Amino acid sequence: GESVGLHLPTLSVQEGDNSIINCAYSNSASDYFIWYKQESGKGPQFIIDIRSNMDKRQGQRVTVLLNKTVKHLSLQIAATQPGDSAVYFCAEITTNDYKLSFGAGTTVTVRA
């Protein structure tokens, strides 16, 4: 499943499929980007980050892609599991700043 285009508020994906969550960021000066996962009743939890000198970074079952030309960020989740159901936020920051700026978030629902 994929949230096509800049951003969709919800994404429904079949268990075992790959998920792609997209995010458009606003500040061309941002040089550090983070994906967070937020489950109901909990705070945002770090998933993966990427700096602007990279265009791809891989973690365990997750990959983040950064396209600075169009100010676009994506999170790919491989073999999506029921525990991946949550709201996913991208956040941007500039190195000498401290304020995270969050996008609106995408709600991912995994179908069994």
Partner 1 sequence: GAGVSQSPRYKVAKRGQDVALRCDPISGHVSLFWYQQALGQGPEFLTYFQNEAQLDKSGLPSDRFFAERPEGSVSTLKIQRTQQEDSAVYLCASSQTGGGYTFGSGTRLTVV
| Positions in the binding site for partner 1 (CB under 8 A) | 34, 41-46, 49, 89, 91, 98-105
* Minimum distance of partner 1 from residue 93's CB (angstroms): 10
18/52 with CB nearer partner 1: 52
User: Please, which residue, 18 or 101, has the CB nearer to partner 1?
Assistant: 101
Shortest distance, position 103 Cβ to partner 1, whole Å: 6
Q: Contact 15/78 with Cβ under 8 angstroms?
A: no
> 20, 3 in Cβ contact below 8 A?
yes
Q: Of 40 and 69, which CB lies nearer to partner 1 in the complex structure?
A: 40
Phi, psi of 16 (to 5 degrees): 95, -20
Q: Cα–Cα–Cα angle for 46, 58, 42, nearest 5°?
A: 15
